[in-house]
Amino acid sequence: MKTALITVGSTREYIDPVRYITNESSGQQGMALIKSLIKNNFKVICLHGYLQVKPIVSKKISYIFTPNAESMLKAAKKNKNVDLAIFNAAVADYRVENYQKQKIKRNKNLTLKLKNNPDILKTISNISSGPQITVGFAYETNDVKANALKKLKKKNCDYLVLNYPISKNNIFNNKYNNGGVFNKKGHYHQIGNVTKTSFANQVLRHILKAENE
């Protein structure tokens, strides 16, 4: 049985004990991908942040809670030797330079100094003895294909799944997704506006078929 690593949900970077920086993500698409992986006879290691959906219960899934970018990267490095890695989680790009142990009191103005979080997809895509196939996700709002192609080259992953909003679907907290898949050569396979279950099945089918040709 092949093994897949997948990241799901959103990470949080705390500013103080009650406030944090995060990205929008319900975990719906990630769970749909896990279902599809199991159907395709993969054992799944799921690194998850915060979820708004119930996790799938199966003996084929191992869950590891990774609440922030650093913990998710650490777990990804530990579980890098897999057949397929899918980086679907919405990871916060920044964290505060100085975390405050006490709740910050309300004031007239507040300035936060941020620093870059580690780039999980880029790190694992370029790591030695890493996944045989690495898949990234990109949510774009403008020049969607051009920006996705830039990310594909920058991250050096094998495939990049592009998600982008349309007038009737902004994707977040929605049962529908919209987009397609780029391969490493920049060729694009359009999937379109379909349910997240269908989107997951089509993404995985397209990648596995391409790898077996």
Distance CA 10, CA 49 (A): 5
Cα 195 to Cα 141, 162, 164, 176, distances in angstroms: 19, 15, 14, 4
Q: Residues near 193 by Cβ (< 8 Å), separated by ≥ 6?
A: 166, 168, 169, 176, 177, 178
Angle at 156 between CA 13 and CA 201, to 5 degrees: 80
7 DSSP β-pair partners: 47, 87
Backbone angles phi, psi at 192, to 5 degrees: 95, -160
How many domains does the chain divide into?
1
> How far is the CA of 57 from the CAs of 30, 79, 112, 207, in angstroms?
14, 20, 40, 25
Q: For position 8, what pLDDT does the model report?
A: 98
Over the chain (213 residues), the average pLDDT of each successive run of 10 is 97 97 95 98 98 96 98 98 98 97 89 97 96 97 97 97 90 92 97 97 97 87
**Alpha carbons within 13 A on the beta-carbon side of 118:** 14
Q: How far is CA 33 from the centre of its chain?
A: 11
Read off the pTM: 0.95
- pLDDT for res 170: 82
- Structural domain harbouring 20: 2-212
Which pLDDT score, from 0 to 100, does residue 1 have? 87
pLDDT at 169: 81
- The CATH number given to whatever domain includes residue 80 is 3.40.50.10300
Q: What are the E-state strand segments in 39-128?
A: 42-48, 61-65, 84-87, 94-96, 114-116
Which parts of the chain fold into alpha helices (H)? 28-39, 69-78, 120-125, 144-155, 196-212
Give Cα separations from 132 to 11, 110, 158 (angstroms): 25, 45, 9
